[in-house]
Structure 1
Amino acid sequence: MRAALFLALALFAAPAAAQDTARAAEAAADRLAAASEQLAAAQASRDRVAALTETVRAYEAGLASLRDGLRRAAIRERSIAVELEARRDRIAALLAALQSISQTPAPVLMLHPGGALGTARAGLIASEVTPALQAEAQALRADLQEAADLAALQQSAIGTLEEGLAGAQTARSALSKAISDRTDLPRRFTENPVATALLLASTDTLDAFASGLARTIDAELSGSAPDATARKGEIPLPVQGQVLRGFGAADAAGVARPGLVIATAPRGLVSTPVAATLRFRGELLDYGNVAILEPAAGVLVILAGLAEVFGETGEILPEGAAVGLMGGDPPASHEILTETAQGGGAPQTETLYLEVREGDVPVDPATWFATG
C-alpha cells in the first residue's frame, strides 16, 4: 500500500500546458467567411480589379491562418499522445496497485502490521495522497478531452478548407479576367512590339535586355512617372514568402545571381508594393515569365518565375496592384490535413526571383526592399 501511495505522488509530475487552438481556428474560419462575402461584393464593385485583388489577399491570409491553427493543433495533439505514452507503464502500475487495494476490505486495509502507530501513520499518508490523486486524475481527464477536441477540430476543418480553397481559386480566376478587361489605367508610353521582338531575339543576357528596354518605346505619353525614392529601403516584398538566397548568393549548382530568391506558396499573388510603370511583361531567356517594373526613374525591378503576368506594357500600376500569380497547384484539403497532422506548415514550392537595377547595374535589393 505504501509503495502504491508513493508511486501515486510521483505520477504526473508536470501538468500539460493547454493551448487555445480552437479559438485560432475559429478566427481563421471567420476570415474565410468574410473573404467569401468580399468575393460576392467584388463582383459588383465599380473597381473590380482592386476589390478582387483584396479578396485574393483575404483568402490567402485566411487559409494561411487556418493552416497554422491546424498545424498547432496537430503538434499539441501529438505532444499529448507522446506524454501519455511515456506515462503508460507508470499508469498501468498505479492502476494495478489501486485495483489490488480496492479489493481489500476497508477494515483490513486500514490495519498496519506495526500496530496502532503504523496504522495512524498510514491513515495520515492516505489523507494527504487522496487530494493529489484526484487532481492528477482530473489533469489526465483534461488531457484526454483536449486530445479528443483537437482531433474533432481537425476533422471538422475539412469543409472549411474545401470552401476556402474553392473560393480562392474563383477569386484568382475572376481577377485574371477583370484585369484583362481593364482599360482605365494611365499609360506612360506605348510599346513598339517589333522593337521588343528584335530585342528579345538579339540578346542573350538579362543585362543586355535591360539596357535595351528604352528602344522598345514607340511613343511617350503624358503620364507622370512614379517615384518611390522616398521609400527606399522600406518597400515590402511583392509576394508573401521567405527569402532563400540573398544578393550574390550561389545556388546548389554554384550559380550566383545578383538578386533574391523568394520561396512562395503555389498560386501566390504577386503585387506592386509601390506605384510603378510596367516596362515589360512576357517570357525572357531562361527566367520564365517576367515582369519588369520601374518604380523610379532609372530603377528597374525584375520579377521572374511567374506563371501569369497581368497588365499591359506602358501602364502605370498603382500601389498594391496585382502583377501576376505564381505557378504550381494548391494542395487539396486532404493533403493540407496530412501535412498539418505531421506538424508541417504551408509548403512553399514556388520561387520568385527579384532583381533591382540602377542605371543598368544590379544592386542589392535590400537597399530598396525590407527583406527582413
Structure 2
Amino acid sequence: MKHLALLLTLLAAPALAQDDPAVAARAAAEALVQAQEQLDEADGARDRVAALTTTVRAYEDGLAALREGLRRVSIRELELSQALQAQEGEISRLLGALMTIGQSDAPTLALHPSGPTGTARAGMLLSDVTPALATQAAALRADLEEVAALRQMQEEAVTRLTEGLSGVQQARTELSQAIDERQDLPRRFTEDPVRTAILIAGTETLEEFAAGLGQMTEDEAQGGLPSITDRKGYLPLPAPGEILRGAGERDAAGVQRPGVVIGTAPRALVTIPTAATIRYVGPLLDYGLVTILEPQADLLIVLAGLAEVYGRAGQVLPAGSPVGMMGGQMPTTDAVLSQSGEEGGAELTETLYMEVREGDDPVDPLTWFSTDKDDA
C-alpha cells in the first residue's frame, strides 16, 4: 500500500504558480472588492464627484480584468480537459500499475522463481520503473489539480462578478446624482441659448459649428487655462478602449472624417484627461450627443456618440472629470460566463468619436493622445 499512498500524496494540491490564469482572475476579483470599499468611502469624500469617478473606473477596470481572467481560465481548462481525455487510456494503465504495486505484499515482491539472481534483477528493473511511474503520476497530479482549481475559480467568480456588476451600476447612479447636485465649478461664460439655436440651425458641418462657437457666449472672461502643449502626444484616451478607425479612414458607408473612432465597453465612463472649459454640450447634427471641450486657447476636443452628457456650457472642469457615459446594455453574469471562452475584445461594442481641432483646422487626435499600443 506504500506506493498507492505515494500516488495519493502526489495528487494532493500544491500552490499555484503566480502566472496561472486562476491567480490573475482572483487578483481581478480582489480589485472588485476594493472598488466596493471605495464606493462605501465615497459618501464622506470632500469631492464626491472625483471619488465616485475613481470608483466607477475601478469597477470598470476590475470587471474588464475579471472577464479577461475568466476567458483565460476557460481556455486553459478546456486545453487541460481535452489533453486528459486524449490520454485516458494511458492514465488508466498508469493508475493500474501503481495500484498493483501498492496492493502487492512486500514478501511476494522480494521473491523470484529464478532464485536470488532473478530477484536481484527484478529489483533493479523495479527501481528503474518506479521513478518513471512516479514522474508520470506527478504530471497527472498537476493537471488534475489545475483543472480542479480552475473550476473552483469559476465558481468563486460568479459571486464577485454579480456583486461587481451591481456595484458599478450603483456607483454610476450615485455619480450622476452627485454631478447634478454640484455647485462649486467656476464658469468662464454664460451660454446664449438664442445664438446657440441659430448657429445649430444654420450649421451643416462640425467645422462650421466649431468656427461659430465664439458667437454663442455672453460676458466671457478674458484669458484661458494654462497651455498643455508640453503634454502633446501623452494624453490618455477619454475612455478605456481601442482605436477602431483612424483619422481620415472611411467608414462602412464611405464617409471620411478627420477624427478617430474608439471602441469602448457598454456604459463606459468618459472623462477628460486635462482641465478644460465646456464650449458646448448637447445634440449636434448627425453626431448624436456631443461635448466640445477647450483645454487651452485655439484647441478644441470634440467627443460624440455619448448616451449621456454631463455639465453645462461655460463650466471649467478639473482634470479627470466625467463628461458623459457611453450607451449599450451592461452584460449579465450569465452572458459574461457564456462568453468567457471567446476571444478578447468582444465586449467593445460602443463607439466614441473624437476629433481635435487646432484653430480652424482638424488634426489627427493621436498627435495629442496616446494609446496602450503607443506605450508598449
Q: Is the 1:259–1:365 contact (alpha carbons within 8 Å) kept by the matching residues of 2?
A: yes
Select between 309-318 and 81-90 the one with higher mean Cα deviation.
81-90
Write out per-residue CA displacement over residues 50-104 of structure 1, whole angstroms, 9 at most, x where no aligned residue.
1111111111122222222222222221121122123234334656788899999
Cα displacement (A) at 1:44: 2.7
Within the alignment, does 1:65 sit opposite 2:65 as a pair? Answer: yes
TM-score by length of 2: 0.85
C-alpha separation in 1, matches of 2:103 and 2:56: 65
- How many residue pairs get matched? 354
Contact 1:191 1:314 (8 Å CA) reproduced: yes
CA change 1:273–1:103 in 2 (3 A) is: closer
- In structure 2, do the counterparts of structure 1 residues 100 and 160 end up closer, same or farther at CA, with 3 Å as the change threshold? closer
Q: Greater CA deviation, 123-132 or 306-315?
A: 123-132
Q: Distance in 1 between matches of 2:367 and 2:351?
A: 21
Partner of 2:27: 27
The answer as to whether partners of 2:224 and 2:296 remain within 8 angstroms in 1 is no
Deviation at 1:133, TM superposition (A): 0.5
Alignment of structure 1 residues 1-372 onto 2, 5 Å: 19-92=19-92, 123-221=123-221, 224-342=224-342, 344=344, 347-371=347-371, 372=374
Determine the C-alpha separation between the residues in 2 that align with 1:223 and 1:210.
19
Maintained 8 Å contact 1:186/1:316: yes
Q: Which amino acid aligns with 1:323?
A: V
In the TM superposition, what is the alpha-carbon distance from 1:342 to its structure 2 partner? 4.1
Q: TM-score, normalised by structure 1?
A: 0.86
What letter corresponds to residue 81 of structure 1 in structure 2? S
Does structure 2 conserve the Cα–Cα contact (< 8 Å) formed by 1:281 and 1:292? yes
| Partner Cα separation in structure 2 for residue 347 and residue 61 of structure 1 | 13
Structure 2 residue identity aligned to 1:259 = G
DSSP-derived class of the 2:235 partner: coil
- Following superposition, the deviation at residue 303 of structure 1 comes to 0.6
SS in structure 2 opposite 1:164? helix
Write the distance in 2 (CA, Å) between the matches of 1:135 and 1:101.
Answer: 15
Secondary structure of the residue aligned to 1:340 is: coil
Deviation (angstroms), 1:212: 1.3
| Residues 110 and 123 in structure 1, CA contact (< 8 A), matched pair in contact too | no
Could you tell me how far apart the structure 2 residues matched to 1:96 and 1:57 are? Answer: 54
For structure 2, the residue ranges without an aligned partner over 5 or more in a row are 1-15
Paired with 1:119 and 1:255, the residues of 2 have a C-alpha distance of 86
Deviation at 1:118, TM superposition (A): 8.2
Residue identity in the other structure for 1:213: L
**Distance of aligned partners of 1:262 and 1:230 in 2 relative to their CA distance in 1, 3 Å threshold:** same
Alpha-carbon distance, 1:34 to partner: 2.0
User: Matched residues in 2 for 1:29 and 1:23: separation?
Assistant: 10
Structure 2 CA distance for aligned equivalents of residues 95 and 172 of structure 1:
55
Of 85-94 and 200-209, deviating more is 85-94
Deviation at 1:223, TM superposition (A): 7.0
| TM-aligned CA deviation for residue 138 of structure 1 | 2.3
Structure 1 unaligned regions, length at least 5: 1-16
Q: Which moved more, 1:159-168 or 1:341-350?
A: 341-350
Aligned equivalents of 1:107 and 1:359: distance in 2?
92
Structure 1's 101 and 280: CA in aligned 2 closer, same or farther, altered over 3 A? same
Quick one: distance in 1 between partners of 2:360 and 2:197?
Answer: 20
Secondary structure class of the residue paired with 1:29: helix
Please say if residues 32 and 58 of structure 1, whose CA atoms lie closer than 8 Å, have aligned partners that are also in contact. Answer: yes
Q: Structure 1's 140 and 60: CA in aligned 2 closer, same or farther, altered over 3 A?
A: same
97 and 32 in structure 1: CA distance in 2 versus 1, 3 angstrom threshold: closer
